[in-house]
Amino acid sequence: MAARVRQTVTHLADGRELIYFDDTEPFVSGAATRELHDGRDLPSVAAASELRRDPLTGEWVTFAAHRMDRTFLPAVADCPLCPSRAGAATEIPAPGYDVVVFENRFPALGTPSGEGDLVDGEPLWPRRPATGRCEVVAFTPEHDARFADLALPRARTVIDALAARTAALSRRPEVRQVFCFENRGVEIGVTLQHPHGQIYAYPFVPPRSQTLLDRSREHRSRTGRSLQHDILDAERRVGERIVWSGEAWSAYVPAAARWPVEVHLVPHREVPDLAALDDGERDELAVAYRDLLGRVDRFFPGVGRAPYIAAWHQAPTGAELGEMRLFCQIFSLRRAPDKLKYLAGSESAMGAWISDTTPERIASRLREIAT
């Protein structure tokens, strides 16, 4: 399935980088994008973000007040991720495209100036500029499409784009972790309905990744083995929660799943990130990923498109091989056709999760709706 993908790098009117990832003509030859220019009159992006460390947890919190004015659920005619057309210039200058990645105009992380200091001069509250990068990934020019609807070669191109950006961003000296993800559905909090994902390049290791690292290191110190490898082996051995299996990937509902619908997609080979996948693994991933997202939509009969988050957990830059391996966590907060899972007191305040179902029931339903 692997196809030639052309990367064409250009810049938007305010200087932000935009990269076309093309796999079909007239785009793959560069003829349709080579001479395109963004003719809009745009002010420079001002990302006045800062990080403050919470002394109670040691976690860094990002403050990005400029994002309050970001685009919010525009009409289809005003969608910034659709191709540009006469009288309607968008974030994508081309009249058509395959896959596009560009710097977010309202980034939580950026290149602010200044040095670290203390909030109110108090040593308890260190702060520093929120350096890093936030990118948008437009999966398709079709406004009403779903990732599950993409042709396999196009799904593979999206994977190649995420892998290429992971590799490039991981080389930046300020970046500690690259996080690729898709939010879908107003219930999740999306501000744009057009099918797209995002990439955050953090200047710190986020709390979830730090926990995964700590648990993996503890397990290896105690057993000499990889925790995530042992979990995959155990799930495949038991089989009750396996919902998809191939030569290079397996998908299972974790034994301690938190969400009403949750599945983890894991490569059999221990790799740190998307960039480390070979062609065969990427080909099978396109099949499995598209299939699983379709099952999430079919989980509750009659509902149609489900709100979900698809989160690619990757090893932080500089992590030792095997400390943390790549996996994708797909989950939905819908717990019934007409009900959502809300994170109330126990979950939000204490981090103590209470599930309304069981992982075994989730897995059974995901197997039942396979096509």
Q: Provide the 10 A C-beta neighbour count for residue 178.
A: 28
Concerning whether 219 is annotated as a catalytic residue, the answer is no
Write phi, then psi, for 6 (nearest 5 degrees): -100, 130
Sequence-ordered list of residues with C-beta below 8 angstroms from that of 45, at least 6 positions apart, any chain: 14, 15, 16, 103, 105, 107, 110
The one-letter code for the residue type at 46 is A
Please, are residues 283 and 1 in contact by the beta-carbon 8 Å criterion?
Answer: yes
CA distance 341 to 334: 6
Helix axes of 152-170 and 279-298: crossing angle, nearest 10 degrees: 110
From the number of C-beta atoms within 10 Å of its C-beta (0-12, 13-18, 19+), residue 36 rates as middle
Helix/strand/coil (H/E/C) assignment for every residue in 42-79: CCCCCCCCEEEECCCCCCEEEECHHHHHCCCCCCHHHC
Question: Residues 143, 194, 196, 268: which is the catalytic one?
Answer: 196
Catalytic residues: 196
